[in-house]
Amino acid sequence: MNLAAGLANGIAALDIEVTASAQQRMLDYLALVLKWNKAYNLTAVREPEKMLTHHLLDSLAVLPHLRGPRVLDVGTGAGLPGIPLALARPDLQFTLLDSNQKKTTFLRQAVIELKPGNVEVVCERVESWSAGRLFNTVVSRAFSELSDFIALAGRLCAKDGVVIAMKGVYPHDELAQLPQTFRLCSVVPLNIPGLGAERHVALLQPAEAA
């Protein structure tokens, strides 16, 4: 499969707008992940075609739910969903947070090479990080439990902001354990082109914003 055509077709299927130049930089990012993955073990996905669907398109699917101007990607790993979203939305400021030094080393190099201009990389544990500011969007693909995500990262969300938790199947059990400090706005099913797996995004707000 031609990766450029696959990305363009996937973006069209998601019904989102991403400029041609941003799409090319996403492919450049994919090439960097492939190159560094051999030594740094950034992702278990090794094939470029799978990275396109499992990483790029999966990340871009939450694009319509972002609020700005400040976005925090918690446990970003190889930069997902933060880097694809930052390339798609140069008008927003993204902070990529991860405690893994190898992964943040890769991210800093990716920022140097891709020159997004709107990405900051932080190597810290979320529970001990003092951000100094609140974020309009707090997003993660990495947390296994919603309650843990809220407990550790919820304090970083602005009162009128949104927490975006990317999930597989509908998280019934996790929603039942949701802390009272946050309320569920909606759970949106995502249809990721070529993924062939169930995906949902849970959108939450601080309870005081209700």
162, pLDDT greater than 60 = yes
pTM of the model: 0.96
pLDDT band of residue 210 (cuts 50, 70, 90) is: low
More confident residue, 132 or 210: 132
Task: Lay out the sheet containing 182-190: strands in order across.
Answer: 119-123, 93-98, 70-74, 135-140, 157-167, 199-206, 182-190
On whether the 3-209 domain is CATH 3.40.50.150, my answer is: yes
* pLDDT tens digits along 84-96: 999 999 999 999 9
Q: State which H helix or E strand residue 80 sits in.
A: none
Q: What is the pLDDT of residue 93?
A: 98
Q: Which residues have a Cβ under 8 Å from the Cβ of 204 and sit 6 or more positions away?
A: 146, 150, 162, 163, 165, 178, 182, 183, 184, 185
Percentage of residues of the chain with pLDDT beyond 90: 90
Domain boundaries defined on the chain: 3-209
Q: What is the mean pLDDT of the chain?
A: 95
* pLDDT tens digits along 197-209: 899 999 999 998 6
pLDDT band of residue 36 (cuts 50, 70, 90) is: very high
pLDDT band of residue 45 (cuts 50, 70, 90) is: confident
Residues 119 and 186: their CA atoms lie apart, in Å, by 28
* pLDDT tens digits along 111-121: 999 999 999 99
Q: What is the pLDDT of residue 46?
A: 86
6 closest CA partner among 206, 172, 207, 192 = 192
